[in-house]
A and B are shown apart, each in its own frame.
Chain A
Amino acid sequence: MIKETYEVTTQETSFSVVQSRIDSIRKKNITRTGYRVYQDGLIGVHGQLGQSADDPWQKAVENLSSQVAYPFAPVRGIEREQTVASDLDDQAILPELEAVLAEARKRHPEFIISNKVNITETTTALQNDQQTKLVHRDKTLMVGLILKHKDSVSIMDTFLGYRARHWDAGFFLDEFEQMTAAYNTQVPFPQDELLVVTEPDLLAGKLVTELNGEKVGYKSSLLNKDFGKKVFHDDFTFYLDWDEKEQYLVPFFDAEGTIIPEGRVDLIRGGVIEKAYTDRRTADKFQMPLTGSATCPYDGVPTLGARNFNMVRSKKTVHELLDGRLGVVIVMASGGDYTEDGNFAAPVQLGLLTDGTRLLGRLPEFDVSGRLYDIFGKDYLGYSQDRFLAGEHALVVKMKISRKS
């Protein structure tokens, strides 16, 4: 019998902002431990959250009787510990945050700021009696603030959101200034064609769904017929990414302890669909390459799932990708979705006009739509070199923009 623990500790300080002031502070320090035993092709798992009089290993052994098959040997003989560099200080940030909120109130009293600023430190550790000890620590600032104009009857008018491992009051205020200034400047729709500038998740979620190894293996993916074919743009490469500069709170190992030495797996390369993402079970069942994409709650059996997707960046900035044309930054497009056959549509609650160097103003609400194969195919312009969107790179594509009457 092989024994293994999978432990996730979350330490968090959370600041709630109400009416542009810090209203509350929440402290959390929670450890969740999954005790795993492997025997005769079966896995038994027992989770422990908090105090318990039970012997967790005994409980895990008892759970072997659940007959959950797991015919894979746990990783062995790997010891690696990584702490991602972060200088965030939970104690020091409170006065800093209060100061920037005071400055924000002074500069733009017409906006009511609310919601959360969190500092989260996660330690993920996988250890077993096969000489494996993998530990990853990451501490991240997550700013997620709702900005509501005092004259508006909306729940939220715009949003200030970003992640970082370093507190920078100047960055916060610059982003706040750009966003509020753009929101306060109403502009009409230009007559010329507009390009879409957005964070990638809005449009790439369908790729994540359809590149799921299980879905591909069972021939249930929209993309099945096109594996090995070049169906997307030459410049479009979509990959699993373990680069700590691009990913937050993503350990270098997955829930099965798989490590991808190169720190990257291309799923779509140069427009060609090459791979689905897999955990060990999926890779084995469908004879696919293992991509280190197992996930699970602390007390679960590892299963297929991933969130560390990325796109290869263009050598061009947003300004260069727009190439003299104007773009619309999609700030809020809640509720949009793809149909099963890959047609995307969404109402855009807030779009900001841009020339690729700055935000020029707020456009009236509109709808946006496009087809998956076109968005990342003939209509794909690139993923920007510069961090144009609140410190993140921006996807630039052509889409159909329908003004509301």
Chain B
Amino acid sequence: MYVFPEGRYTDVRVEDVFQTDIVIENGVVRQNKVRNYQGALIRVFDGDKWYYAATTKLDDLQGEIDRLAAMTGSLPDIENEPAVRLLEVNRDTVLRYAADTVKAIGRPDKLALLQRYSDICAQVPEITICKAYYKDTYSVKHFLSSKGADVRFDFQSASATVRYNLTVADKQGRGGKDIVKTGFSALAGHEDEVRAEIEKDIAHTRDAVPVAPGRYTCVLAPVVTGVFAHESFGHKSEADFMIGDETMMKAWAIGSAVGAPDLNILDRGDTEGSGYVPFDDEGTRARCNYIIKNGQLTGRLHSAVTAASLGEMLTGNARAVSFEYEPIVRMTNTYIGGGSLSLDDLLAPIANGIYIEDLHHGSGMTTFTIAPHRAYMIRDGKIAEPVRISVISGNVMETLHKIDGFSRDEEFFSFALGGCGKMEQAPLRVSFGGPAIRVNDINVQ
């Protein structure tokens, strides 16, 4: 199909993207559009540097390859360069959603669905601003490499989301509900969930009091656990932070005890969710990667370059946020494994703690943070009064050892309007989840 230059490794990733975006604001349609485009990223590697070109001129991809090649040197034995040698040569087509795409659903149907959720908000006097968002994506990626890889795969997501501002007894609050599925039909019928969320937010806005800052035992609801896993350890497991760094390699040696004995953290792109990537953006097939198993470090997430540099195996985690960017090491579907307790069991031994039910955002470096949305005191083993918290934080290296309880029920989540940010690439679609967990000695402000 393309003439790849000698003495270099080359790959081409073409993306064909369909998206719908509808916004209803306080009952009035503000956006209603379809976006359909194609773009490509070309990579050429000469054994020393990588050269990338992002383009929408698909009729000139050969020209782009040639122009990039002209910038490079060459390495006669490029096939044996460690990263190139590691790259998989898959030939496959995985079109999981092609028979039931959101492209086939008319915009009037999508608008009508969103209107139903918007109308729920319109009936609530405490809601001063309501924005309802319908978004869908159907994309097909075609990856070809000079090693002979040729894979084509698709992804689909559809979501209906409400975001609202509240005024309750002169107090300001906000909230929302994300319904994220892999197909349009599954978005219907969640009205009661939206109503329940609004009721909780009204009560929290009305009754929450400022928290007394301090260190608490916290119980994290599954959605918070998921973000905690992503932020507290997921980013730490991305191996591009580690290459050429002996200190990091010693501190994060495979087999090290890095968490509580029952702690399991997994990342896998081969299951449905926003992080579904049957192949990553280097053509590597997705697999199940245990990052932590029974409290011990068992793996990390890789691109071909990082895997070659660290002498480890590919994991299928080289991902780009769009055709405009090169793949870097990213998470996919990341979650903490469940345990055997009920939520009541987790709460029972806590005399004075905090239950964090939902969150606004999180961040993760050595110190992880989570900005809670709805949080409640735990008093004598029971969920008690709502509290307002700016941020909770902890040291990753210490906090993973301070988890001492996991519920048996696991839940998985995707955010409809955001995703993961790393460097210049955001938001990347990922999913996350796990059970409710109990974590001791968390800094609460």
Contact surface of A with B, Cβ cutoff 8 Å: 14, 16, 18-19, 22-31, 45-52, 63, 66-69, 112, 114-116, 118, 144, 148, 150-156, 214-215, 218-222, 299-301, 303, 332, 334-341, 343-347, 349, 365, 367, 369, 402, 404
Q: Are B38 and A337 in contact (CB under 8 A)?
A: no
CA distance A22 to B361 in the complex (A): 32
The residue that B365 contacts in the complex, of A29, A30, A334, A339, with Cβ under 8 A, is: A334
CA distance A214 to B176 in the complex (A): 18
In the bound complex, residues from chain B placing their C-beta under 8 Å from that of A221 are 172
Q: Are B54 and A27 in contact (CB under 8 A)?
A: yes
CA distance A114 to B238 in the complex (A): 14
Q: Are B390 and A336 in contact (CB under 8 A)?
A: yes
Q: How far is the CB of A284 from chain B (nearest CB, A)?
A: 13
Q: Are A49 and B54 in contact (CB under 8 A)?
A: no
Q: Are A218 and B389 in contact (CB under 8 A)?
A: no
Q: A215-B165, A340-B172, A346-B390 are in contact. Are A24 and B445 (CB under 8 A)?
A: no
| Interface of chain B residues 346 through 380 with chain A (CB within 8 A) | 360-363, 365-371
The residue that B361 contacts in the complex, of A47, A299, A337, with Cβ under 8 A, is: A337
Q: Are B107 and A51 in contact (CB under 8 A)?
A: no
Contact sample, A vs B, 21 pairs, CB 8 Å cutoff: A14-B424, A22-B49, A23-B50, A24-B50, A66-B107, A151-B247, A153-B252, A154-B366, A215-B165, A219-B128, A301-B31, A334-B365, A335-B370, A335-B393, A340-B173, A340-B388, A341-B172, A343-B210, A343-B388, A367-B443, A369-B445
CA distance A51 to B56 in the complex (A): 7
Q: How far is the CB of B260 from chain A (nearest CB, A)?
A: 19
Q: Are B57 and A349 in contact (CB under 8 A)?
A: no
Q: A51-B58, A337-B361 are in contact. Are A30 and B390 (CB under 8 A)?
A: no
In the bound complex, residues from chain A placing their C-beta under 8 Å from that of B243 are 18-19
Residue B30, interface by CB 8 Å: yes
CA distance A336 to B360 in the complex (A): 11
Residue B391, interface by CB 8 Å: yes
In the bound complex, residues from chain A placing their C-beta under 8 Å from that of B71 are 25
CA distance A181 to B29 in the complex (A): 55
Residue B9, interface by CB 8 Å: no
Which 8 A-B pairs have CB atoms at the shortest separation, nearest pair first?
A335-B369, A50-B56, A345-B445, A345-B390, A24-B50, A335-B363, A66-B32, A26-B52
Residue B104, interface by CB 8 Å: no
Q: Are B29 and A67 in contact (CB under 8 A)?
A: yes
Q: Are A299 and B55 in contact (CB under 8 A)?
A: no
Q: A63-B33, A153-B397, A214-B129 are in contact. Are A118 and B53 (CB under 8 A)?
A: no
Q: Are A300 and B33 in contact (CB under 8 A)?
A: yes
Most chain B beta carbons < 10 A, residue from A27, A29, A31, A52:
A27
The residue that B248 contacts in the complex, of A115, A153, A299, with Cβ under 8 A, is: A153
Residue B74, interface by CB 8 Å: no
In the bound complex, residues from chain A placing their C-beta under 8 Å from that of B393 are 335, 347, 367
B238 nearest in chain A by CB position: A155
Q: How far is the CB of B118 from chain A (nearest CB, A)?
A: 15
Residue B246, interface by CB 8 Å: yes
Q: How far is the CB of A23 from chain B (nearest CB, A)?
A: 6
Q: Are A28 and B37 in contact (CB under 8 A)?
A: no
Q: How far is the CB of B138 from chain A (nearest CB, A)?
A: 16
Q: A150-B246, A339-B390 are in contact. Are A349 and B51 (CB under 8 A)?
A: no
A48 nearest in chain B by CB position: B37
Q: How far is the CB of B419 from chain A (nearest CB, A)?
A: 16
CA distance A345 to B444 in the complex (A): 9
In the bound complex, residues from chain B placing their C-beta under 8 Å from that of A150 are 245-247
Q: Are A155 and B365 in contact (CB under 8 A)?
A: yes
| Interface of chain B residues 386 through 434 with chain A (CB within 8 A) | 388-391, 393, 397, 423-424
Q: Are B366 and A155 in contact (CB under 8 A)?
A: yes
In the bound complex, residues from chain A placing their C-beta under 8 Å from that of B365 are 154-156, 332, 334, 349
Q: A148-B245, A341-B172 are in contact. Are A301 and B30 (CB under 8 A)?
A: yes
CA distance A30 to B368 in the complex (A): 36
